[in-house]
């Protein structure tokens, strides 16, 4: 197979290609048009584009073929869609670009988007957000659901998109660049708490897959693997990918938040509001 074959989608999804093109297009045009002083630096632009491209890559290249027929590649795909890609996008802080486009919107569009804002605020409640984050992993890895998702093309797309969207929501909540001392973003203590909280169930699930003796996910057995590999090895690798990298990402996230909290320490005068709800 030529290089081009590896870059072409295995299961072409016009909606997916269009969404990624729109995101990159709006980002690029926003960058060019926005005032110089608001524009993100080149490092941030590279991180953003990289985050978007790896998500696209696991959905619309040959990688997707291997994700459908190998359990451990599938786990790698979700690691990128639910963790790594959204983390990079959130860390790159595309907020100035979003603000630029928001400023360009007419009042009609803005009021039309208001229900979306309500849904967003509901989903970003820390309890809901962390429940969804862990819940979706458990849901799609629940053996009967996983079997169906790998058999049905529609379910498969719902699965991957739900992981990507939920990843974006969660990691944006965690890495929201607005300082909680002066804005309504989540307090740093709570962010750290959430990161630790979601790590534990992921570690349990990963360990359960690694140490299970039987085949938990036999759909790869039934539908044929992309290349001959012992089912136990496939499951073991998949379990490790569910277990270790997400746990490490939680710890890295905690370190990043701690560093940010230490930097901001004392730089805002209204200390009381940093305490958040304790003052209410």
Partner 1 sequence: MTTSPLRRNTLKLSLLTLILMGFVLSGCSGEGESWNGKDISGLMPGLEFELTDGQGRPVTADQFDGKIKLLYFGFTSCPDVCPTTLQKLGQATESLPTEAQDDVLTLFISVDPERDSPERLAAYVDFFGNGIVGLTGKESQLRQLAKRYRTTFGYEEPDENGNYAVSHSSAVYVFDREGKARLLIRPDLGVEEIRQDLIALAKADT
Residue of 39, 62, 190, 225 interacting with partner 1 (CB under 8 A): 225
112 touching partner 1, by CB under 8 A? no
Residue of 152, 183, 233, 272 interacting with partner 1 (CB under 8 A): 152
155 touching partner 1, by CB under 8 A? yes
d(CA 265, CA 260): 8
| Mask for 50-69, x = binds partner 1 (CB under 8 A) | ---------------x--xx
235 touching partner 1, by CB under 8 A? no
Q: How far is the CB of 74 from partner 1 (least distance, A)?
A: 13
Query: Is-contact 229 70, C-beta < 8 A?
Result: yes
Q: How far is the CB of 43 from partner 1 (least distance, A)?
A: 36
Q: How far is the CB of 121 from partner 1 (least distance, A)?
A: 8
d(CA 166, CA 228): 33
Which residue lies nearer to partner 1 by CB, 111 or 272?
Answer: 272
C-alpha pair distances (Å), 122 with each of 82, 127, 128? 20, 10, 8
Q: Where do contacts with partner 1 occur on this chain (CB under 8 A)?
A: 11, 65, 68-69, 121-122, 125, 127-128, 131, 135, 139, 144-145, 147-148, 150-153, 155-156, 218, 221-228, 277, 279-280
């Amino acid at each position: 197979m030529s290089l081009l074959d590896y870059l072409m989608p295995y299961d072409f999804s016009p909606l997916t290609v269009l969404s990624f093109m729109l995101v990159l297009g709006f980002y690029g045009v926003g960058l060019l048009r926005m005032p110089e002083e608001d524009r993100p630096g080149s490092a941030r632009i590279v991180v953003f584009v990289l985050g978007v491209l790896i998500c696209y890559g696991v959905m619309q290249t040959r990688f997707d073929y291997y994700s459908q027929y190998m359990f451990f590649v599938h786990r790698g795909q979700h690691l990128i869609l639910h963790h790594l890609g959204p983390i990079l996008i959130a860390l790159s802080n595309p907020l100035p670009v979003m603000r630029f486009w928001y400023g360009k919107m007419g009042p009609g569009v803005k009021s039309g988007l208001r229900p979306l804002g309500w849904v967003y605020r509901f989903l970003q409640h820390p309890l809901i957000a962390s429940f969804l984050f862990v819940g979706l992993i458990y849901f799609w890895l629940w053996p009967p659901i996983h079997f169906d998702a790998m058999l049905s093309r529609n379910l498969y797309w719902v699965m991957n998109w739900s992981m990507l969207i939920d990843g974006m929501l969660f990691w944006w909540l965690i890495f929201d660049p607005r300082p909680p001392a002066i804005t309504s973003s989540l307090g740093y203590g709570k962010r750290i708490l959430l990161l630790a909280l979601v790590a534990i169930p992921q570690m349990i699930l990963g360990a359960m897959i690694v140490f299970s003796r039987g085949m938990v996910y036999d759909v790869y057995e039934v539908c044929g693997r992309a290349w001959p590999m012992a089912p136990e090895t496939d499951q073991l690798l998949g379990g490790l990918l569910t277990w270790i990298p997400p746990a490490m990402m939680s710890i890295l996230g905690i370190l990043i938040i701690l560093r940010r909290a230490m930097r901001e320490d004392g730089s805002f005068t209204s200390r009381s509001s940093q305490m958040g709800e304790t003052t209410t």
